[in-house]
Structure 1
Amino acid sequence: MKRNQKDSSGVSMIRPGGKLMIWLILFISITYIIYTLKIVSTSRPCQYLTFSETILQQRPQKKAVAGEHEATDLNHVVFGIAASSKLWKKRKEYIKIWYKPKKMRGYVWLDKEVTDAGDQENLPPIRISGDTSSFPYANKKGSRSAIRLSRIISETLKHLDSDSRKSVRWFVMGDDDTVFVTDNLIRVLRKYDHGQMYYIGSLSESHLQNIFFSYGMAYGGGGFAISYPLAVALSKIQDRCIQRYPALYGSDDRIQACMAELGVPLTKEQGFHQYDVHGNLFGLLAAHPVTPFVSMHHLDVVEPIFPNMTRVRSIKKLTTPMKLDSAGVLQQSICYDKYKSWTVSVSWGYAVQVFRGSFSPREMEMPSRTFLNWYKKADYTAYAFNTRPVSRNPCQKPFVFYMSGAKFDKQLNTTVSEYTRHRVPHPACRWEMTNPGEINTIVVYKKPDPHLWDRSPRRNCCRVLQTKRNNTLWINVGVCRAGEVTEVK
């Protein structure tokens, strides 16, 4: 065994390598102690994760997409308009009323090229539908064009490039004689998750039409909306699906048949209006359900909604209140003039009715039968909703006042709409009460309420204001106050 060397004084000497080893061991020991103390001070009790939590931790996080969480707007919607070259010259005037090329996206799908497309800058771009001659069609009462029209959503989707698709949330289908209130359309669509499969629309007003076709079908003339994921799923199966239904009549029942195969039911929104009726729409418009007014159809079938005007001009007239307060347009309010024993019904932006006597709200919210059913019969059992007769007693015939103008008063911060009496003969009445025929003009004050449909559905309240001018009636319309009830007085 080797011994340490000694110097001349007899003191043993340690080699330099051994001294370095001692310092290294000391450094490692101190570092280990510090690290151990740090772990102990920051440690937490053990937590046991559930199976679902473990999976969520393992799942890769989805990256946020720019604009993904912003509210749905018109730039997220693409319209597909079904049109015919034979009727294009006339029907395009309806599209001009509501379509705004700089704010909206969409296409008009025609069966063939048209020569009179000179004012195309005010309309959606025209596209020609693909050839459908290879698809079978066996319905003797219908037209093969139904197959072409049923493929509009799929063709519109395929027509969009990859960049355009990124911002699309909804495809909205309509006819060339469908007029949309686009602000209200957006209000309806915002209620739904565009990332899920939705098929949104409404039924026919005709009970028989719904029986013949389906109570689970969105009628295409009234318009309907399909979310982007559903449009993608539909486009993948639609051509195969169409092959299986050659006996169906139209395009909308073919779409509904494919929806059934996808397992997606109709989400009903009452504001989409097919208007499968004939005659005068007044009863329907004056008692609109408590829901946003989204669309109207069959404008060439029914009478103009304002008297003594063309159909196109009458719809253009309705756009004035739409611009002032789109959420409130056509919304009904019911109130009573207790001093004169009158019942007053306001369809804001359209018309006011004044009745002798007292009618309950339950009766007033039913449309009066100013129209015939789709088969041109005065059969009230043929409707898919409740109606009431125009008047049971000659003295109860309403005095109708149509909107003659509307504006926004900046000083009062409210809309002021004026309604002028429609001069038609009224039967003599011996009731001992003030005659509504003495009124020439009705003025309605209403503050714009863009958040009307963000709250739970409820009719607005109206109040008859007392004035000294006998030939003018003033009315205030607005959100019902606390404890305010529309009750017969």
Structure 2
Amino acid sequence: MKDSDAAKSPSSLLWGVFGAGGHHHRHNGKASSSHFWSTRDCKPYFLFHRLFVFLLFLLLLYFFYTYSLLSSPLPSCDGVAVVRLSNFTAAVANRTEVRSSPSTPALAAPRPQSTATELQHIVFGIAASAKLWEKRKAYIKVWWRPRQMRGFVWLDKFVKEMKAKDPALPVLKISGDTSRFPYTHRKGDRSALRISRIVSETFRLGLPNVRWFVMGDDDTVFLPDNLARVLSRFDHRQPYYIGSLSESHLQNIFFSYSMAYGGGGFAISAPLAASLARVQDRCLRRYPALYGSDDRIQACMAELGVPLTRHPGFHQYDVYGDLLGLLTAHPVAPLVSLHHLDVVQPLFPGETQAAALRRIFAGPVRLDSAGVIQQSICYVTARLWSVSVSWGFAVTVVRGVMSPREMEMPTRTFLNWYRRADYTAYAFNTRPVARNPCQKPYVYYLASARYDNATRTTVTEYALRRETRPTCRWRMADPSALVDRIVVYKKPDPGLWDRAPRRNCCRVLPAAKERKKRMAMEVGTCRESEISELGKQ
């Protein structure tokens, strides 16, 4: 090896640093006894030179060591592969373990998400009384599905169906004794204590695989599939208390704007039901002066710290009169429940309430429950008519052009729960019934519903309700003179509520010459940039 090459090696550098000055060196093959630096005047420069050479040695040593690490294969320990720092950090954050594999190391798969909530995951607790049972059991039979749903009717006394079981009804049970709880409200009834404990009593039955406990009255009508759709959007493993308010502003003031009204129904997740069952008996003793059962439930929820999650599909219907104005302008949300059906007029004129409900459930609810009562707005341009389709219930036609902003607002065909209160006592916007006789709506009620297998489309027909009408002096076509029936075509859309809330669009179809006095329409998802407006002539 040449001297110049030796001087570049780490060993020669080390020798030069520690051997220079005071040690003998060979020069041209001869030993030299003279020092490399012989004068005292050069001593500072000599020290600087030593320091520089030492630092250079450390730098080269670092480069050699780093190069050897990068060029060698990655080690492994006990089958656990070495991963990048970012992957390791992610693994720690997710509490997952990284295992060695022939391919690139990867994090463990995340825990699969919970499956969607179905009817089998819901248990119903229905409050009933022996006094009204004979009449109201017909409502339960309309929506109850034996062998598909689980639930119990909790009564105050024995009824004959407990002995001779009716397979079309849920299991009947007698509520527990509540005489030990105080009740001091002067105008109320002690049955509120019994009803308020239905969720807890149902929970204590210990049914398996329950995600939600749903409470309702014997005159509450649920749309089961829509209820399951709504609850699927919430994590049943978290404490949820889901329901809605009263339509009456005064009711909400007297009771609470934080309370789910029991007649409209409410849902409590299984973990929250477990917590409620543990504390409710103690909680009830602290509120003897409350009026009903639902405000007692809310009082216990307040103690548990769980607020009400509102959903506009639950309907208490604290109103009198005709529900037409409310049902033809339903919020853009799935219809979940109806209540107080004994108080309001039948949904279809001239029928019993139970018969009207059976018509809706046998047709539209069976064909496309997600779209039931959903409003669509369009216009008959040639005749200047405004049309509102409440799918599966009714179609209203009005002469003249009304804006969607007006038509999506319920018409006051109903009265407030407090009869002396005016329209300012509602908890939502309403509009008055038209005073101009020319703007009185023509109502076409559901007459039939079927499914066309060839086109995979639902076909619903709506018949005009004939009634005496005031004279109209407008020079505008009379809908009753030109249209007896309206046919609406709609493809089932079970995923309607998996998308962002939006009204469906309706379109007037060309009239068939062979079908006089009929108007055909199509209802479905709005096309790109489609809006509800009066089209060009």
Q: Which TM-score applies when normalising by structure 2?
A: 0.79
| 1:202-351 → structure 2 map (5 Å cutoff) | 202-319=244-361, 320-351=363-394
The residue identity in structure 2 corresponding to 1:212 is F
CA distance 1:471–1:54, change in 2 (3 Å): closer
For the 8 Å contact 1:360–1:488, the answer to whether it is kept is no
Pairwise CA distance, 1:466: 2.0
CA distance 1:40–1:309, change in 2 (3 Å): closer
Match of 1:440 in 2: 484
For the 8 Å contact 2:74–2:82, the answer to whether it is kept is no
CA distance 1:377–1:370, change in 2 (3 Å): farther
Bigger Cα Rg: 2
Segments of structure 1 that go 5 or more residues without pairing to the other structure are: 1-36, 59-63
Cα distance in 2 for partners of 1:332, 1:440 equals 21
For the 8 Å contact 1:89–1:116, the answer to whether it is kept is no
**Match of 1:159, SS?**
coil
Match of 1:53 in 2: 92
The residue identity in structure 2 corresponding to 1:465 is L
For the 8 Å contact 1:201–1:224, the answer to whether it is kept is yes
Cα distance in 1 for partners of 2:368, 2:281 equals 42
CA distance 1:431–1:113, change in 2 (3 Å): same
Identity %: 62
The residue identity in structure 2 corresponding to 1:115 is K
Cα distance in 1 for partners of 2:186, 2:373 equals 40
Match of 2:427 in 1: 384
2:245 is the counterpart of 1:199: no
Segments of structure 2 that go 5 or more residues without pairing to the other structure are: 1-71, 98-109
Match of 2:203 in 1: 157
Deviations 1:170-199 (A, max 9, x none): 000000000000000000000000000000
Deviations 1:108-156 (A, max 9, x none): 1011211355452111111111111010101001000001100000000
For the 8 Å contact 2:246–2:427, the answer to whether it is kept is yes
Match of 2:114 in 1: 69
**Match of 1:275, SS?**
coil
Cα distance in 1 for partners of 2:389, 2:395 equals 4
Q: Alignment partner for residue 44 of structure 1, among 70, 82, 86?
A: 82
CA distance 1:130–1:463, change in 2 (3 Å): same
The residue identity in structure 1 corresponding to 2:227 is L
For the 8 Å contact 1:361–1:486, the answer to whether it is kept is yes
Pairwise CA distance, 1:390: 1.7
CA distance 1:130–1:488, change in 2 (3 Å): same
Pairwise CA distance, 1:487: 2.1
The residue identity in structure 2 corresponding to 1:396 is Q
Match of 2:59 in 1: none
**Match of 1:153, SS?**
helix
Asked which structure has the greater RCO (Cα within 8 Å, sep 6+), the reply is 1
Cα distance in 2 for partners of 1:461, 1:318 equals 21
The residue identity in structure 2 corresponding to 1:344 is V
Cα distance in 1 for partners of 2:507, 2:440 equals 22
Cα distance in 2 for partners of 1:271, 1:180 equals 10
**Match of 1:127, SS?**
strand
2:524 is the counterpart of 1:478: yes
Cα distance in 2 for partners of 1:57, 1:346 equals 53
Cα distance in 1 for partners of 2:222, 2:201 equals 21
CA distance 1:470–1:110, change in 2 (3 Å): same
Q: Alignment partner for residue 127 of structure 2, among 72, 75, 82?
A: 82
| 1:380-419 → structure 2 map (5 Å cutoff) | 380-419=423-462
Pairwise CA distance, 1:50: 6.3
Match of 1:130 in 2: 176
The residue identity in structure 2 corresponding to 1:97 is V
CA distance 1:211–1:57, change in 2 (3 Å): same
The residue identity in structure 2 corresponding to 1:157 is F
CA distance 1:345–1:45, change in 2 (3 Å): closer
Match of 2:30 in 1: none
Cα distance in 2 for partners of 1:46, 1:427 equals 82
The residue identity in structure 1 corresponding to 2:349 is P
Deviations 1:224-273 (A, max 9, x none): 00000000011111001101100100000000000001110000010000
CA distance 1:486–1:45, change in 2 (3 Å): closer
**Match of 2:432, SS?**
coil
Cα distance in 2 for partners of 1:186, 1:310 equals 28
**Match of 2:395, SS?**
strand
The residue identity in structure 2 corresponding to 1:44 is V
The residue identity in structure 2 corresponding to 1:271 is G
Match of 1:96 in 2: 141
Cα distance in 1 for partners of 2:225, 2:366 equals 9
Match of 2:501 in 1: 457
Match of 1:33 in 2: none
For the 8 Å contact 1:280–1:370, the answer to whether it is kept is yes
Cα distance in 2 for partners of 1:431, 1:45 equals 81
The residue identity in structure 2 corresponding to 1:361 is P
Pairwise CA distance, 1:69: 2.5
Pairwise CA distance, 1:68: 7.8
The residue identity in structure 2 corresponding to 1:262 is L
CA distance 1:388–1:100, change in 2 (3 Å): same
CA distance 1:262–1:356, change in 2 (3 Å): same
Pairwise CA distance, 1:56: 3.4
Deviations 1:295-341 (A, max 9, x none): 00001111110010011101111111100000000000000011000
Q: Which TM-score applies when normalising by structure 1?
A: 0.87
Alignment coverage as a number of residue pairs: 445
Cα distance in 2 for partners of 1:184, 1:355 equals 30
**Match of 2:396, SS?**
strand
**Match of 2:280, SS?**
helix
2:415 is the counterpart of 1:372: yes
CA distance 1:53–1:345, change in 2 (3 Å): same
Match of 2:231 in 1: 189
For the 8 Å contact 1:415–1:446, the answer to whether it is kept is yes
The residue identity in structure 2 corresponding to 1:449 is D
CA distance 1:134–1:415, change in 2 (3 Å): same
